[in-house]
Chains A and B, each alone.
Chain A
């Protein structure tokens, strides 16, 4: 069982979200910030479009050979002294993590921001088993204090304003002066930095996700701006990476191509502040004793050799990677394989008119926006999440900004077809479609009846210009008016105007 879902009540969630004035106010930041920054970054790199095409090819190639690249990757991690664990589902991934924590007697674990550990519901499970997880990304930390799920895949607390964050800090950080001034955003940041610095230094295990896994070298990559992911993985005795199978890329050159797209598409940066490649555990000094024995008369070169031989002075002593499937292998080779190219940049939701209105929580599971509308039904089933692909105007902006050129609208249509095939639509939609199909198959009857209907509606709405209520269309007119037709059907107008030409 993965993290709890409320995707089945998407319609109610969305209605509630739109009625929440504070939420819709806070969401303005998404529209205002992300879109312009991405556009600027993309326009400043003339090769951006060519890179998108190449990145798509790299991922398609990788997915077509995924079994082989996974084997190469596994061998490399093992050779560098790390451990690779494979998990079929969320339950197994959680159990492997807990076992690693128990083996080293871990009391607290720090966590870098990771959607995959949200997906498997790791925090609740660790907590229930006596291990305290501490989220260290500022946004993740804030929502952990609130007991919420992230509402955005790269800006987890984007649904909150600073007053809400201040009240959470005052509620939880009771060891601090109650009269402290937290009106400035910087004071909130400084407080979180100080509180979390203590946690970093005492954590027994650090858990991160991975933006990429490199087959050539057995390397995991994290991309962050805060540096929390790095403190999470460099300080504790044990570093655990949890990543899903599709994070694989073949080589260092390949990942460089995709890195050029990731930060630009996500935040409009040319490169995120910290891009970190981790390979295996802390390196041991192989020849330390011999070199130490002769350490009296060292010149500079010998000193360097000695330093090399002495090995690392920091970094984790154990390095584990948990590779999770959780339904993804079944997407390979089918109509949803393209979704596995996703690099979780969030450009699709940042540009989505539906996301702008309702935010991320309404989608009901871990992944919101267009990528969530496609991925969620694949991972938790169309019965549970069949509503999500309907939350689209098919405006196509998501596909046009996707760095990996994922045909998101097309795949939402695939889901709508499946939903229809499986009889999951409400009766009124099915009868309506049936009725429409009856007329559409009889063009003369269609033309006649729409002509009559247009005339009748024009007569009814004469002088008003718009209907505020319409029989059988109250779901529409409840929120907006319905324009009165001008009396002519589109087809009639088309015929008339082409006839004139």
Chain B
């Protein structure tokens, strides 16, 4: 019995005039997957570390995120408390198991911090980014118990902590890091690239913030 799968592959091969077992073609495909050649990398982010950080901050503002730069992780809880107070938000916070966030001195603030995924009841959440991409002002976040994906989308206010040492220039710079962590060809369940707070232009083409995801995105850059 032929299946839809068989028919689909047969139809593709008929159109391409190939059998599918040509060694040359298979070699070309293996080689590309193996080498994963880089294409054109914009010049704009091929700059030194301080300039990358400056570009990242500029791009973040350009996509309506807010930012703060901190000397080290011990300053994170106070910076979060300040941010929530300044925006008239309740002093609650949800975080994952990320050891860098777990080690922050939360008890020095009046914040009510809970740990785990979000079920939709959390107003504020904090995540630790894997990297920040200067080229476009993009935060890269990886799923897992350290930083559950639901924290990136359900809360109204999303705070992202980024280590200054994890600022990269271009989008492609992320992939070697992920391959080093998970192995070539392997991925975490989710990689989220987040560039600013949620928005929609579906009503008369007017951009409005806070469609379904967070209404605010606040980025704390640590160690700069």
Contact = CB atoms under 8 A, between A and B. Distances in A.
A and B from one assembly? yes
Interface of A: 26, 29-30, 32-34, 45-47, 50-51, 54, 58, 61, 64-72, 76, 80, 86-88, 92, 136-139, 142, 155-158, 161-162, 165, 185-186, 188-190, 193, 196-197, 200-201, 215-219, 225-228, 230-231, 234-235, 245, 250-254, 256-257, 259-260, 267, 269-283, 300-301, 303-304, 307-308, 310-315, 323, 325, 329-334
A189 B208 contact: yes
A88 B8 contact: yes
B212 interface: yes
B208 A186 contact: yes
Interface of B: 3-5, 7-9, 11-18, 20, 25-26, 28-29, 32-33, 36-40, 42-44, 59, 63, 96-97, 99, 102-103, 116-120, 135-138, 143-146, 148-150, 152-154, 171-172, 175, 178, 185-206, 208, 210-214
Given A165-B203, A253-B37, A334-B15, A272 B208 contact: no
A67 B117 contact: no
30 contacts: A32-B205, A54-B40, A65-B29, A68-B20, A69-B29, A80-B186, A137-B202, A138-B203, A138-B211, A161-B204, A189-B211, A193-B210, A196-B212, A216-B185, A227-B153, A230-B149, A230-B213, A234-B190, A250-B32, A269-B63, A271-B193, A278-B190, A280-B189, A283-B143, A312-B144, A312-B189, A325-B8, A330-B11, A331-B15, A333-B16
Contacts of A330: 11, 15
Given A273-B198, A279-B189, A279-B190, 19 more contacts: A29-B205, A66-B16, A72-B33, A88-B8, A136-B212, A138-B200, A138-B202, A158-B205, A201-B119, A215-B33, A227-B153, A228-B212, A234-B153, A253-B37, A270-B137, A271-B137, A303-B99, A308-B144, A332-B16
A363 to B, nearest CB: 20
A217 B187 contact: yes
Given A230-B152, A276-B191, A315-B189, A88 B4 contact: yes
B149 to A, nearest CB: 5
A80 B191 CA distance: 15
A300 B103 contact: yes
